[in-house]
């Protein structure tokens, strides 16, 4: 075999990190539905715990032994190895939800007195955690907006007097639901500005909107990349899970926190996600191809305005997109002419496209951000973020694109 040849992640999703010899020749990794693992000897149990509890360094080639499923389980470890390939990350930690990945990152890497600099808008659950939970632990937050320049953000931080306490820059790009793009490299430069020799300011990127295929934040200076694996990675609207990837050092810290919060995913979820990963590329390719057709159709329709699709970016945004993204993705938002009444009439008239929050799944999903996912956003921020009463968000699935356009078309006619 040519050892220099490097297989693409999609070719490795069926086999990487698993050997059929371990399980009676079973081609698929079984579900290790077990809480605990039997040690061969007391000496082995002692050695495993020394590594798990950090009592000594791992020897070269030594792996963390299987102890107990809150610490590790083959379905999670193999899944983590496979997920790491897409982002070319050293390590990955899988969680029972996207929110548990995000909250564990905050709890591990922020301390009382620290300030979190974050992009607006972030996912509603993240926004709540930042404003109402971190607050209880004495962690302050400062929000910035898409299209603010680095200098404007630095000026805002200076005026707040909190610059010396910034410990993390947290970004969600493209922003949900309007696909506003934020430059990850700029966020890295901001983090460098607030880093000191004693304390490195980290950059964490929630990459859920682009999945592990279409944007690789670690390559653009991020330290941590986060996913709600409920979305593209799971991809079938049948599970809740999350993941965080980064360096060995950071993910080891995160996994230690995970062990004590106990918010790892279970073996069944791990197994389902491995099954999902086998088709990740074909699903996402088809979703992106469908989204391009749907976005073009919507843009040409006289009852539709302001189609927000990454493929339509211009100027400075387009430059950031070209540098940072590998696809225009499968999320499209747009306004129908009119207000909430017209938007609801349209949504209620759809038959193939389903009315539900969430995204990235095989079926196309539509929702009304102003009254659903972004109902908690203040009127002032809604205005600033262009979340109007006629804005609709569409997550494009793998259906036949002609069928999708047919359904959208007949519903637009009902307005
Ligand atoms: C859904 C979502 C989350 C939260 O993930 P859960 O799996 O629902 O906990 C976080 N960030 C983004 C961008 C999301 O879309």
Q: Which atom of ligand 1 is nearest to the CA of 358?
A: 1
CA 211 / ligand 1 centre spacing (Å): 11
- With a cut of 60, say whether residue 142 has pLDDT above it: yes
Find out if CATH 3.40.640.10 is the number for domain 69-277.
Answer: yes
Residue 41 confidence (pLDDT): 97
**Substitution candidate for ligand 1 out of 95, 96, 98, 273 with most atoms within 8 A of CB:** 98
DSSP string spanning 98-166? HHHHHHHHHHHH--TT-EEEEESS--HHHHHIIIIIGGGGT-EEEEE-TT--HHHHHHHHHHHT-GGGE
Q: Does any ligand 1 atom lie closer than 6 A to the CB of residue 360?
A: no
**Substitution candidate for ligand 1 out of 97, 121, 215, 231 with most atoms within 8 A of CB:** 231
- With a cut of 70, say whether residue 160 has pLDDT above it: yes
Residue 59 confidence (pLDDT): 87
What is the rounded distance in angstroms from the CA atom of residue 290 to the CA atom of residue 406? 13
CA 50 / ligand 1 centre spacing (Å): 35
Q: Which atom of ligand 1 is nearest to the CA of 125?
A: 4
Per-residue pLDDT tens over the stretch 55-74: 888 888 888 899 999 999 99
Residue 103 confidence (pLDDT): 98
Q: Once rounded to an integer, what is the mean pLDDT over residues 177-200?
A: 96
Residue 62 confidence (pLDDT): 83
Q: Once rounded to an integer, what is the mean pLDDT over residues 375-381?
A: 92
* SS3 at position 366: strand
What is the rounded distance in angstroms from the CA atom of residue 346 to the CA atom of residue 352? 13
Per-residue pLDDT tens over the stretch 287-307: 999 999 999 999 999 999 999
Residue 2 confidence (pLDDT): 62
Q: Does any ligand 1 atom lie closer than 6 A to the CB of residue 231?
A: yes
Q: Residues near 347 by Cβ (< 8 Å), separated by ≥ 6?
A: 355, 366, 367, 368, 392, 411
Per-residue pLDDT tens over the stretch 336-363: 999 999 999 999 999 999 999 999 999 9
Write down the CATH number for the domain with range 280-412. Answer: 3.90.1150.10
What is the rounded distance in angstroms from the CA atom of residue 349 to the CA atom of residue 323? 39
Q: Does any ligand 1 atom lie closer than 6 A to the CB of residue 395?
A: no
If you take atom 2 of ligand 1, which residue's CA is the nearest one? 228
Residue 64 confidence (pLDDT): 81
- With a cut of 90, say whether residue 321 has pLDDT above it: yes
Q: What is the CB neighbour count within 10 angstroms for residue 402?
A: 10
Report the mean per-residue pLDDT for the chain: 96
What is the rounded distance in angstroms from the CA atom of residue 208 to the CA atom of residue 228? 6
Q: Are 144 and 153 in contact (CB under 8 A)?
A: yes
Q: Are 183 and 171 in contact (CB under 8 A)?
A: no
Q: E strand or H helix at 320, and its extent?
A: helix 315-324
Per-residue pLDDT tens over the stretch 10-55: 999 999 999 999 999 999 999 999 999 999 999 999 999 998 887 8
Residue 316 confidence (pLDDT): 95
Q: Which atom of ligand 1 is nearest to the CA of 176?
A: 13
Q: Which atom of ligand 1 is nearest to the CA of 101?
A: 9
Rama region for 242: left / alpha / beta (φ>0; ψ in -120 to 50; rest): beta
Label residue 320 by pLDDT band (50, 70, 90): very high
Domain ranges of the chain: 69-277, 280-412
Per-residue pLDDT tens over the stretch 190-239: 999 999 999 999 999 999 999 999 999 999 999 999 999 999 999 999 99
Q: Which atom of ligand 1 is nearest to the CA of 100?
A: 9
């Amino acid at each position: 075999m040519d050892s220099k040849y490097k297989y693409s992640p999609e070719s490795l999703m069926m086999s990487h990190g698993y050997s059929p010899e371990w399980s009676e020749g079973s081609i698929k990794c079984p579900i290790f539905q077990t809480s605990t693992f039997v040690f061969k000897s007391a000496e082995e149990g002692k050695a495993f715990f020394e590594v798990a509890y950090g009592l000594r360094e791992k020897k070269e080639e030594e792996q963390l032994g299987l102890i107990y499923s809150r610490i590790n389980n083959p379905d999670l470890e193999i899944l983590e190895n496979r997920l790491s390939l897409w982002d070319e990350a050293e390590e990955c930690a899988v969680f029972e939800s996207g929110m548990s990945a995000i909250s564990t990152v905050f709890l591990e890497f922020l301390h009382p007195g620290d300030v979190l600099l974050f992009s607006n808008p972030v996912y509603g659950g993240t926004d709540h955690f930042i404003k109402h939970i971190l607050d209880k632990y004495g962690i302050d937050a400062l929000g910035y907006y898409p299209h603010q320049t680095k200098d404007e953000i630095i000026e805002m931080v200076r005026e707040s007097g909190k610059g010396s306490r910034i410990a993390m820059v947290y970004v969600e790009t493209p922003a949900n639901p309007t696909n506003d793009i934020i430059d990850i490299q700029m966020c890295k430069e901001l983090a460098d500005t607030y880093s000191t020799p004693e304390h490195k300011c980290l950059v964490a990127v929630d990459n859920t909107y682009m999945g592990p295929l279409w944007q690789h934040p670690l390559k653009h200076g991020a330290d941590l990349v986060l996913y709600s694996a409920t979305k593209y990675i799971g991809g079938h609207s049948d599970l809740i899970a999350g993941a965080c990837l980064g360096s060995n050092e950071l993910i080891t810290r995160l996994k230690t926190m995970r062990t004590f919060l106990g918010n790892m995913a279970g073996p069944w979820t791990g197994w389902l996600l491995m099954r999902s990963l086998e088709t990740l590329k074909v699903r996402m390719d088809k979703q992106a191809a469908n989204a391009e057709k749907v976005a073009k159709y919507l843009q040409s329709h006289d009852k539709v305005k302001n189609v927000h699709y990454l493929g339509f970016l211009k100027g400075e945004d387009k430059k950031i997109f070209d540098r940072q993204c590998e696809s225009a993705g499968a999320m499209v938002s747009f306004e129908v002419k009119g207000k909430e009444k017209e938007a609801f009439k349209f949504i209620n008239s759809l038959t193939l496209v389903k009315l539900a929050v969430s995204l990235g799944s095989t079926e196309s999903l539509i929702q009304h951000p102003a009254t659903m996912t972004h109902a908690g956003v203040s009127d002032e921020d809604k205005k600033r973020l262009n979340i109007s009463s006629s804005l609709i968000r569409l997550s494009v699935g793998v259906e036949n694109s002609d069928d999708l356009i047919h359904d959208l078309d007949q519903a637009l006619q009902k307005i």
